[in-house]
Copies of this chain bind each other. A is one copy, B any other.
Amino acid sequence: MPAEHAILGLLALGDGAEPGHGYDLARHFGEGQPLGDVLRLEPGMLYHHLKKLERNGWVVAEVEPQPSRPARRTYRLAPAGRAELTRWLEAPVAHTREIRLDFLVKLFFARRLDPARAARLVVEQRETLGRLAESLGRQLAAMDGTDDRTLPAGDHAFAAAVLRLRLAQTTAALDWLTGLVETRGTVTGSTT
């Protein structure tokens, strides 16, 4: 669930300085914001997540009553929340389809919180997707060998097309990850 970790991430970024109440966090998830262009979050869901994070003990709320307005609930990262954020930031995603959302959010926060960790994340993500690509390649090769004895004619061609698509998407993600490392430290934050 990238949404809740993104909220933890925003609180970790502000840390003391930034307010950290719902309405304020909501701005980051609107269109035009770098984060909002990757992960859109409507107010309803945002408040829902904040309540859940509080139940989990990952954040603590401080309530400031205001005249003529709903009381403002300012959230702060709890130690358990910080630990969870770190754990999440260090884990690469397992599937190619998670690159578009989960991985981009991880990258966004890793870059700002700890550029060295961002560089490590990119490397590990490359290794994970690399293993996936190899596996897909092996399945494709095995398929070309069997040459239709288990499956009816068209099914074989279709199954092979599915594998080729997955491999193509994974390879594209791998190339993009490589580009991330190469275009200076601006993105990953490190020049290794």
A interface vs B, CB < 8 Å? Answer: 34, 37-38, 97, 99-100, 104, 107-108, 111-112, 151, 154-155, 157-159, 161-162, 164-166, 168-169, 171-173, 175-176, 179-180, 186-187
Contacts and interface: CB of A to CB of B under 8 A. Distances in A.
A169 B100 contact: yes
Contact of A168 (B37, B155, B162, B172): B172
Contacts of A176: 161, 164-165, 168
Contacts of A187: 157-158, 161
Given A104-B165, A111-B158, 8 more contacts: A34-B158, A34-B159, A37-B159, A97-B100, A99-B165, A111-B154, A161-B180, A164-B176
A71 to B, nearest CB: 32
8 contacts: A100-B165, A100-B166, A111-B154, A112-B154, A157-B186, A157-B187, A168-B172, A169-B173
A97 B99 CA distance: 11
Q: Is the interface of A mostly helix, strand, loop or mixed?
A: helix
Nearest to A111: B154
Nearest to A189: B154
Contact of A158 (B99, B107, B164): B107
B100 A151 contact: no
Q: Which of A37, A108, A157 has the most CB of B within 10 A?
A: A157
Nearest to A158: B34
Contacts of A180: 161
Contact of A37 (B111, B112, B162): B162
